[in-house]
Amino acid sequence: MIPMRAPCTDPRAVPDPIEGSLELSRTVKERLPILLAAILLSGLFIGGWLVLLAGGMLAAGADLLSTGSMAFAGQIFLLSMPLWLAVLALGLLWRAAAFFRGFGSGHLAVDRAAEAEPGGGNQGAWVQGWKGAGGKTGADWGGGRRAPGGPFSALILLAREPSGRAQRMARLLRLMAALFVPLLFLLAADAMLLCAGETLLWRLPPEGGAVMDALLLLVGLGALLAIAVSDPLLEWVALRLGTIEDCERAGPARIPPGRTPLERYLRFLLSDARQRPGLEEMFRTAKMGGTVNGASGAAHPFDLYLQLPAGTAFGRPWSVFVRVLDRPPVMADIDGLESDVRDVVAATATPPARVVLIYAPDTSGPFFERVEDAVFERLMERHLSGKAGWKSYCCAVELLTEEPDGTYDLVPFKPAGV
């Protein structure tokens, strides 16, 4: 059974840097076998081609020397073209194998340390290791929930080095897969010629050549499938790591001035300078304080519903859903919001970029005393997912609480902007 192509969690949402990094390492550990399969099958496919082409060129060269027939020179020239493809693919495979070694060993070390660390252990040395590596301790972050630190910080920093190259490695694997396609077509063409008793590649009898063509075709198709399954995971790792680093760099999320919680939140979204021009234009046509019809025909109330078209700074189309509460959210609020968003997305085929609950309390006090533990865990661990047309989506429901000190408490953390 092939593992799921990418984790069903929003890569742009993390509870805090440490928990986000541990989840990243657990996910990598679970899916390392498919990455290893992509490397091994690609190696077998490239190795088979190199042996095949080198053997064919040597045999044709020997025949050319013994007979002087230029037909063998033409055969050498024809075999040299796929040979260059195989050599280039071998170079890409070498890079991918080096990445896999650092990527896998780093995250496996983090996961093993997380499983072995007893609760309440001595964390001082690990925190000092984080500081020595340029990180920040909980004191540097004001003791907030996003504060890094803990016993795994040094290992996490080491595991991040290869993870930072995950997106680049995904592009290299795609290039290697593109090189495999003409080689697979050449094998398929040779298999059809073998049915007529001819061959482009083999000196074997037709039956033996057909078996070798079939084996290489199966290995090549398996390598393509493993690369296709690995690609979304590597993209997810790159996005997840970027969010973790954003979370570490982010200071307190200051609440902008505004008359209402919704107005203040809109200004908070505009704090991302890269997306400000596009968002300002979209806000002029945003639907505020009304209802949006879903696929079921029901009208769902949202304080803000925003559709972001394709071809702008946002890439493909996205939607934003915001609902404002005047009381602490309960599980029914989360369930109702998720159900309403799914229904609207099913009607519009536009996936959600942000789904937000805003709570502006009238009383002071820390956030976690006002919200049920079950709601807190739900927001951290389960993300909204579904289908937008024929594509899947996954988006965390965010809870923004306006704290008395003038900052937002973000659960989970997502960078500003869309």
Inform me whether the pLDDT recorded for 341 exceeds 90.
yes
pLDDT at 141: 34
Inform me whether the pLDDT recorded for 121 exceeds 70.
no
- Which residues on adjacent β-strands are paired with residue 228? none
For the ranges 135-139, 251-255, 309-313, 365-369, the maximum mean pLDDT occurs at 251-255
Alpha-carbon gap, residue 17 to 27, rounded angstroms: 15
Tally the C-alpha atoms within 13 A of residue 231's C-alpha that lie toward its C-beta.
13
Give me Rg for the CA atoms of the chain.
28
* Mean pLDDT lowest among 34-43, 115-124, 177-186, 270-279: 115-124
Inform me whether the pLDDT recorded for 283 exceeds 70.
no
Detail the DSSP E strand segments found in 332-390.
352-359, 384-388
Chain-wide mean pLDDT for the chain? 75
Per-residue pLDDT, averaged over 359-383, amounts to 71
Alpha-carbon gap, residue 48 to 42, rounded angstroms: 10
> Tokens 């996961």 map to which residue?
111
Residue 369 per-residue DSSP state:
G
Per-residue pLDDT, averaged over 204-227, amounts to 78
CA distances from 148 to 123, 238, 387 (A): 12, 19, 34
Alpha-carbon gap, residue 261 to 322, rounded angstroms: 11
Alpha-carbon gap, residue 351 to 402, rounded angstroms: 27
User: Cβ distance 358 to 324 under 8 Å?
Assistant: yes
Inform me whether the pLDDT recorded for 9 exceeds 60.
yes
Residue type present at position 381 = E
* Mean pLDDT lowest among 173-182, 222-231, 382-391: 382-391
* Mean pLDDT lowest among 55-59, 233-237, 320-324: 55-59
Tally the C-alpha atoms within 13 A of residue 61's C-alpha that lie toward its C-beta.
9
Alpha-carbon gap, residue 279 to 312, rounded angstroms: 10
Inform me whether the pLDDT recorded for 170 exceeds 50.
yes
Q: How many CB atoms neighbour CB 36 within 10 A?
A: 15
Inform me whether the pLDDT recorded for 280 exceeds 90.
no
Closest CA to 36 of 86, 87, 97, 107: 97
User: Cβ distance 79 to 60 under 8 Å?
Assistant: yes
Inform me whether the pLDDT recorded for 245 exceeds 90.
no
User: pLDDT-derived band of residue 339, with 50, 70 and 90 as boundaries?
Assistant: very high
3-state secondary structure of 207: helix
pLDDT at 336: 92
pLDDT at 28: 82
Q: How many CB atoms neighbour CB 153 within 10 A?
A: 25
Burial class (CB in 10 A: 0-12, 13-18, 19+), 22: buried
Closest CA to 263 of 322, 336, 191, 212: 322
Full strand arrangement of the beta sheet holding 352-359: 253-254, 407-411, 397-402, 352-359, 318-325, 299-308, 287-293
Dump the DSSP string for 111-166: HHHHHHPPTT---HHHHHHHHHTT---GGGGTT-TT---STTHHHHHHHHHHHTTH
Q: What is the pLDDT of residues 24-67, one digit of tens each?
A: 888 888 888 888 899 999 999 888 888 777 766 666 666 666 67
Residue type present at position 28 = V
3-state secondary structure of 200: coil
Per-residue pLDDT, averaged over 288-296, amounts to 84
Inform me whether the pLDDT recorded for 130 exceeds 60.
no
Alpha-carbon gap, residue 298 to 110, rounded angstroms: 47
Alpha-carbon gap, residue 243 to 241, rounded angstroms: 5
End-to-end CA distance of the chain: 35
Q: What is the pLDDT of residues 64-98, one digit of tens each?
A: 666 766 555 656 656 677 777 888 888 888 888 88
Inform me whether the pLDDT recorded for 126 exceeds 90.
no
pLDDT at 100: 82
Alpha-carbon gap, residue 369 to 349, rounded angstroms: 38
pLDDT at 40: 92
pLDDT at 41: 92
Per-residue pLDDT, averaged over 358-368, amounts to 63
* Mean pLDDT lowest among 171-175, 355-359, 403-407: 403-407
- Total residues belonging to the chain: 418
* Mean pLDDT lowest among 187-191, 238-242, 342-346: 187-191
Alpha-carbon gap, residue 28 to 234, rounded angstroms: 9
* Mean pLDDT lowest among 58-62, 188-192, 242-246, 270-274: 58-62
- Which residues on adjacent β-strands are paired with residue 288? 304
pTM for this entry: 0.71
pLDDT at 62: 64
Domain limits, the chain: 17-249, 253-411
Inform me whether the pLDDT recorded for 384 exceeds 50.
yes
Per-residue pLDDT, averaged over 155-178, amounts to 80
